[in-house]
């Protein structure tokens, strides 16, 4: 058998014999006596009666002819297949997708109990030419199974075995399903096991094999790109470590999280994704149940700074109760009139697998941090769980301003102080670093182009206003060189721009410089070797492949090598001594392609594509990797992130954002990666998320500054004291 295909031959050997004077034919274990079967036909066996021979043992008559054709069943099936392919003596037509297949109902009914039921209940067993429509099934998948029904042979490409397995299970063609599950179970890898698990959810034995593999290989699976593409339920639990000390297990805690989640989801229309929109802070009470801290009135934890901040800054989640669908399903009769064909769906709107709630595997990631793989209402998800000791409130001395407490998420230390929000929500804006601050400028807010400029100080966790731009501008390229920020091209809401303005911090004002050769909106820009580079974009309905470079000494724009693929809304950055243009759109499709510019050869080269096509993504170099964050797939805003490894030339999914962000900006500063603003698909955002050096997960809290290899919060000052928080959460005041 080839590594790339699965082949299977059903055992069809039969034998004839005589018992008590009656003739029998036994085929695959089914005995027929005088034309009556001792067991009903199934998907793998059937029987035909034989005429009784004269002169058998015990008779006085002369013994007659007793003959058995060794290949009769093979020849018969081969002849039936030939008749089917020639459309001869077929008594029904199956419509699968847009294709029609003439078939012999007897063959299909003998092989599939589900099709036997379909043909029987249609009420026209004696009518030839009936048409049946199979819904929710692909033609090629069914064709594999149809060929098996006629031949007993199955030959499927490895990529299609999963689909054939699901269809065979639905049709109850058990031997095919068993052959497929055996094939899939023997070829499990950390890369494919999550996809196989989705197939195996209704087969207890098969599911057990896959779950066992996942548990044994969970640490490898966590580092796979398919794992990072899953929805992530983030949970902080107060009081859980005490339960573990009393003999509880991590799996019990995860099961409690599932129990809590189930009570917060409407089972008639489950939307578990709503629980992933923010971090859920839960309290393990004395009755061993989890409660959302927003609903807990216990004074001992209400005084906890973390719970107080959670109640204050997190909005209440509510999964609205919705009534079940009242629509009627298609039946054989509709409005009293017969349909032109019989509709039959092998995929019910809700299968038993859709009701599965289970914890598959758990991996410990830090002293108090765990990652689990679970199924919630049939949907595979990850659960990021952090355990937190209940802290006794500390009463500060008079005049001492308490710094935010420290939360240890595995190796990622963050404070419990939410990141300060921008004064203005914005997307499709510029973001640059200047003097250890993040400067954002322009963009859109509810369709209005902006002129405002804000700077964020990480040290003070504060946004402050800077001089506004000369004109409203969005979808422009942004870059910084020295003490100057540049806004290149873009749109003012009515027309594409060729103008370029810069903010000179030494003069604290904006001024115009030389214009582009071509107006460009949705353009990318970056600084390389002290020069400005402008990449792609659009002019009206025309997408651009051309690129321009600004020579600061000459004060002029000149063209350089064009992109291989014209694109706009691409993410552009410097990387490994050159430029990179990632994703974007060609007007019709979101792009996954990536191009890297070599300054020495003045050429763009296409490299490994993204895992997910996206436009309007944020981009930044973080550590030694190139990160692409959020964006849009052309239909919805994205939470997914990816990073590029130059050595392996591969893209890998990173942790998901807490909020979908399209037309988002990203910057890397002081060991942290920031995702700023954007559009969630529902509203324009003024919030930020941060990913620290450990790269475990994004959060909306202030990161800690690394000091002498230890995590410590930046000092929070008032007139009398500097107050610092260490990683263990202790608070101390020191005199100035």
Assigned token pair, 533: 């580079």
Q: What one-character-per-residue DSSP string does 302-346 give?
A: HTSHHHHHHHHHSPPP-----PPP-PPPP-SEETTEE-SSEEEES
Between these two residues, 273 and 237, which has the higher pLDDT value? 237
Give the span between the Cα atoms of 161 and 145, in whole angstroms: 11
Average of pLDDT values for 22-39?
Answer: 37
- Angular region, 152: left φ>0, alpha ψ -120 to 50, beta rest: left
Answer yes or no: do 605 and 515 share one domain: yes
Helix axes 139-151, 72-85, angle to 10 degrees: 140
Q: Is 120 contained in some domain? A: yes
Q: How many C-beta atoms lie closer than 10 Å to residue 728's C-beta? A: 9
Answer yes or no: do 549 and 688 share one domain: yes
Average of pLDDT values for 2-17?
Answer: 57
CATH of the domain at 152: 3.30.710.10
Q: Is 21 contained in some domain? A: no
Answer yes or no: do 177 and 291 share one domain: no
Average of pLDDT values for 239-259?
Answer: 74
SS (H, E, C) 110-132: HHCHHHHHHHHHCCCCCCCCEEE
Answer yes or no: do 544 and 590 share one domain: yes
Average of pLDDT values for 508-529?
Answer: 96
Assigned token pair, 680: 């969630």
Percent of the chain with pLDDT over 90: 41
Burial 222-252 (b: 16+ CB within 10 A, else e): bebbbbbbbbbbbbbbbbbbebeeeebebee
Checking if the pLDDT of 458 tops 90, the result is no
Contacts of 526-530 with C-beta under 8 Å, sequence gap 24+, read 526/477, 526/479, 526/572, 526/573, 526/574, 526/579, 527/479, 527/480, 527/481, 527/574, 528/574, 528/578, 528/579, 528/599, 529/599, 530/481
What does the pLDDT look like over 552-561, one tens digit per residue?
999 999 999 9
Q: How many C-beta atoms lie closer than 10 Å to residue 462's C-beta? A: 11
Checking if the pLDDT of 28 tops 50, the result is no
CB 43 within 8 A of CB 111: yes
Q: Is 477 contained in some domain? A: yes
Paired sense of beta strands 290-292 and 30-33, if any = unpaired
Give the residue numbers spanning the domain of 687. Answer: 416-703
Q: Is 651 contained in some domain? A: yes
What does the pLDDT look like over 644-674, one tens digit per residue?
999 999 999 999 998 999 999 999 998 899 9
Assigned token pair, 83: 């008749």
What does the pLDDT look like over 575-588, one tens digit per residue?
999 999 999 999 88
Q: Is 325 exposed, middle or buried (0-12, 13-18, 19+ CB in 10 A)?
A: exposed
Residue 144: its pLDDT value, please?
Answer: 93
Residue 326: its pLDDT value, please?
Answer: 36
Return the sign of the alpha-carbon dihedral for residues 486, 448, 673, 536: negative
What letter does residue 278 receive in the DSSP assignment? S
Considering its fold, how many domains does the chain have in total? Answer: 3
CB 442 within 8 A of CB 471: no
Answer yes or no: do 650 and 554 share one domain: yes
Residues in contact with 681: Cβ distance below 8 Å, sequence separation at least 6, in sequence order: 636, 637, 660, 662
Checking if the pLDDT of 208 tops 70, the result is yes
Answer yes or no: do 428 and 375 share one domain: no
Answer yes or no: do 526 and 465 share one domain: yes
Q: Is 720 contained in some domain? A: no
pTM of the model: 0.51
Answer yes or no: do 385 and 426 share one domain: no
Checking if the pLDDT of 205 tops 70, the result is yes
What does the pLDDT look like over 573-627, one tens digit per residue?
999 999 999 999 998 889 999 999 999 999 999 999 999 999 999 999 998 999 9
Residues in contact with 145: Cβ distance below 8 Å, sequence separation at least 6, in sequence order: 154, 164, 167, 168, 171, 173, 176
Residue 677: its pLDDT value, please?
Answer: 96
Q: Mean pLDDT highest for which of 148-152, 349-353, 422-426, 432-436?
A: 422-426
The average confidence (pLDDT) of the chain is: 77
Percent of the chain with pLDDT over 70: 72
Q: Is 671 contained in some domain? A: yes
Checking if the pLDDT of 707 tops 60, the result is no
Average of pLDDT values for 415-441?
Answer: 89
Give the span between the Cα atoms of 228 and 695, in whole angstroms: 12
Between these two residues, 702 and 680, which has the higher pLDDT value? 680
Answer yes or no: do 456 and 379 share one domain: no
């Amino acid at each position: 058998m080839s590594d790339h295909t699965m082949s299977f031959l059903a055992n069809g050997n039969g034998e004839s014999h005589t018992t008590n004077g009656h003739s029998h034919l036994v085929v695959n274990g089914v005995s027929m006596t005088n034309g009556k079967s001792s067991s009903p036909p199934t998907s793998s066996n059937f029987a035909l009666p034989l005429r009784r021979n004269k002169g058998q043992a015990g008779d006085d008559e002369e013994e007659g002819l007793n003959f058995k054709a060794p290949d009769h069943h093979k020849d018969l099936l081969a002849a039936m297949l030939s008749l089917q392919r020639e459309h001869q003596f077929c008594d029904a037509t199956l419509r699968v997708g847009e294709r029609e297949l003439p078939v012999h109902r007897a063959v299909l009914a003998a092989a599939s109990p589900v099709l036997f039921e379909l043909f029987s209940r249609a009420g026209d067993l004696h009518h030839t030419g009936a048409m049946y429509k199979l819904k929710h099934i692909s033609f090629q998948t069914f064709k594999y199974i149809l060929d098996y029904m006629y031949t007993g042979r199955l030959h499927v490409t490895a990529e299609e075995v999963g689909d054939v397995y699901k269809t065979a299970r639905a049709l109850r063609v058990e031997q095919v399903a068993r052959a497929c599950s055996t094939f899939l179970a023997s070829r499990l890898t950390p890369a494919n096991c999550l996809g196989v698990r989705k197939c195996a959810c209704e087969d207890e034995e098969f599911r057990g094999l896959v779950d066992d593999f996942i548990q044994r290989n969970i640490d490898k699976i966590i580092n796979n790109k398919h794992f990072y593409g899953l929805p992530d339920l983030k949970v902080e639990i107060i009081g859980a470590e005490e339960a573990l000390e009393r003999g509880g297990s991590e799996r019990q805690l995860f099961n409690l999280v599932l129990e809590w989640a189930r009570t917060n989801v409407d089972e008639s229309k489950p939307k578990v994704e709503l629980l992933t929109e923010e971090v859920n802070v839960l309290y393990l009470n004395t009755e061993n149940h989890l409660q959302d801290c927003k609903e807990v009135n216990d004074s001992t934890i209400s005084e906890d700074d973390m719970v107080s901040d959670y109640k204050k800054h997190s909005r209440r989640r509510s999964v609205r109760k919705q009534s079940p669908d009242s629509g009627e399903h298609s039946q054989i009769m509709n409005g009293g009139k017969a349909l032109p064909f019989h509709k039959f769906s092998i995929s019910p709107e809700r299968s038993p697998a859709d009701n599965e709630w289970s914890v598959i595997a758990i991996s410990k990631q830090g002293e108090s941090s765990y990652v689990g793989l679970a199924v919630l209402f049939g949907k595979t998800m990850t659960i990021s769980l952090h355990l937190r000791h209940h802290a006794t409130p500390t009463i500060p001395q008079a005049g001492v301003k308490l710094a935010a407490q420290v939360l240890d998420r595995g190796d990622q230390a963050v404070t419990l102080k939410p990141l300060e929000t921008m004064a203005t929500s914005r997307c499709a804006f510029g973001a640059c670093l200047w003097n250890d601050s993040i400067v954002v400028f322009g963009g859109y807010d509810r369709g209005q182009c902006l002129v405002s400029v804000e700077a964020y100080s990480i040290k003070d966790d504060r946004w402050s206003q800077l001089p506004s731009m000369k004109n409203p501008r969005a979808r422009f390229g942004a870059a910084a060189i020295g003490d100057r920020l540049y806004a290149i091209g873009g749109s003012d809401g009515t027309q594409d721009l060729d103008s370029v303005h810069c903010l000179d911090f030494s003069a604290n004002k904006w001024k115009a410089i030389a214009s582009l050769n071509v107006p460009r909106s949705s353009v990318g820009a970056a600084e390389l070797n002290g020069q400005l580079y402008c990449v792609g974009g659009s002019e009206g309905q025309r997408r651009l492949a051309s690129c321009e470079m600004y020579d600061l000494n000459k004060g002029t724009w000149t063209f350089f090598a064009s992109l291989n693929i014209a694109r706009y809304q691409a993410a552009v950055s410097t990387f490994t001594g050159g430029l990179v243009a990632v994703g974007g759109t060609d007007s019709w499709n979101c792009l996954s392609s990536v191009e890297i510019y070599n300054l020495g050869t003045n050429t763009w080269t296409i490299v490994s594509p993204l895992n997910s096509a996206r436009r309007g993504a944020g981009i930044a170099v973080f550590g030694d990797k190139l990160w692409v964050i959020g964006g849009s797939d052309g239909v919805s805003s994205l939470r997914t992130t990816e990073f590029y490894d130059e050595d392996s030339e591969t893209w890998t999914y990173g942790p998901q954002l807490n909020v979908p962000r399209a037309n988002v900006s990203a910057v890397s500063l002081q060991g942290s990666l920031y995702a700023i603003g954007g559009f969630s698909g529902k509203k324009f955002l003024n919030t930020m998320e941060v990913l620290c050096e450990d790269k475990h997960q994004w959060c909306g809290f202030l990161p800690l500054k690394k000091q002498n290899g230890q995590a410590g919060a930046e000092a929070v000052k008032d007139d009398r004291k500097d107050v610092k928080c260490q990683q263990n959460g202790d608070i101390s005041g020191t005199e100035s």
